[in-house]
Amino acid sequence: MADLPATIRVSYGTAIALGLREARQEVAPTTAYLLWDPGCRGSCTFCPRAGGNAATDRLSRVAWPEWPWAEVVRRLGERPGPLRRICLQTGWHDSAGAVLPLCIEALRPTGLPLSLTLHPAQIALVDGLLAHGLDHVGIGLDAATAATYSRHKHREWATDWPALTAALERHGPRLEIHLIFGLGDGEREFLATVEAVLARRGLVALFAFTPTGEGGGGPPDLGAWRRVQAFRHLRSRGAITWDGCRFDGAGRLISFGLSPDDLVGRLADGQAFQTAGCPDCNRPFYNERPGGTMFNFPRPLTPEEARQAIADLELAL
Ligand code: SF4
């Protein structure tokens, strides 16, 4: 029989928000990010935890110190501060089906809505976990085409994509599909997968590829990244359609099918460029170095930042 783990990893920013660590915080997380990973079976090229490397305290750019479960749950319940949601990030592990319901029950007394992330190999757990009281499930699809999925996740798109779309048909708006831009997918093919998720009423959480030394390569082109963000935002709100967008011969998005004034007006509040995903998920500095390029803004943009982000789209406006 499975037991609740004795300890849980907590993102460094979350640890500060909970008073577990003393440090200055440029932007506080509005979701508490926890990590359960006793040794992931996955072998994603970009992940420091791949191949069961549970000893590292890193995931993406973030450090995840370990704390007793009971202490974390108590603080989440007593002084959530800026935290309005919990996201339990999980590795692919054979005991997940037994352990994760225990984690959900242990976190329930905090009263905060709960999200949980799964590796695509464990999509079969989605129905049961949602029925067990989860609010949302994030699925780390990460790559957007069969070629990059095979190269970076070492998995078969032909198996995992149909399972994902079937889950989207059942639970659309409660599923966040995590996609990383910068793994080698072209702009048009990446957006075709974003479109396929949104067309099934699913949600898309965008990540900019973060070089950590494992996966190679650099961060994505900023103009292409901003166009991807704008597409996700405008399409999610029904302001544009796939058929209304135009791409050039190289697959670069050159028109959203809106007049320049209409496009600028719809992007002027900067929301398109803020972190997207579950409600209140802002993931501060998952993709960014403090002071570096803000791929996902973890807070509202200033008017000047919004103007710059629109200029970064590199469209003829
Ligand atoms: S969008 Fe944010 S809160 Fe939702 S599953 Fe992904 S990381 Fe967690």
Domain count, the chain: 1
106 Cα: distance to centroid of ligand 1 (angstroms): 19
Helix (H, G, I), strand (E, B) or coil at 33: strand
Q: Is the pLDDT of residue 62 over 90?
A: no
Q: Is the pLDDT of residue 197 over 80?
A: yes
Q: How many CA atoms lie within 13 A of 95 on its CB side?
A: 13
115 Cα: distance to centroid of ligand 1 (angstroms): 6
What whole-number percentage of the chain has pLDDT above 70? 96
For atom 6 of ligand 1, the residue with the nearest CA is 138
pLDDT average, residue stretch 17-46: 92
Residue 2 within any structural domain of the chain: no
**149: domain CATH number?**
3.20.20.70
Mean pLDDT of the chain: 93
pLDDT average, residue stretch 249-265: 97
Q: What was the pLDDT predicted at 216?
A: 57
Range of the domain at 195: 7-312
Q: What is the pTM of this model?
A: 0.94
Distance between CA atoms of residues 290 and 16, nearest Å: 16
Exposure class string for 14-53: b at 16+ Cβ within 10 A, else e: bbbbbeeeeeeeeebbbbbbbbbbeebebebbbbbbbebe
Four-CA torsion 260, 261, 265, 271, nearest 10 degrees = 10
Among 34, 84, 117, 123, residue to substitute to test ligand 1 (most atoms within 8 Å of Cβ): 117
For β-strands 62-63 and 58-59, DSSP reports them as: antiparallel
Phi, psi for residue 264 in degrees, rounded to 5 = -60, -40
Q: Is the pLDDT of residue 213 over 60?
A: no
Q: Is the pLDDT of residue 129 over 60?
A: yes
> Are the CB atoms for 242 and 261 separated by under 8 Å?
no
pLDDT average, residue stretch 153-167: 97
pLDDT average, residue stretch 36-52: 84
For atom 5 of ligand 1, the residue with the nearest CA is 138
Q: What was the pLDDT predicted at 181?
A: 97
pLDDT average, residue stretch 97-116: 95
DSSP H or E run through 189: helix 187-199
End-to-end CA distance of the chain: 61
pLDDT band of residue 287 (cuts 50, 70, 90) is: confident
Residue 71 within any structural domain of the chain: yes
Atom of ligand 1 nearest to the CA of 203: 1
Q: Is the pLDDT of residue 154 over 80?
A: yes
161 Cα: distance to centroid of ligand 1 (angstroms): 20
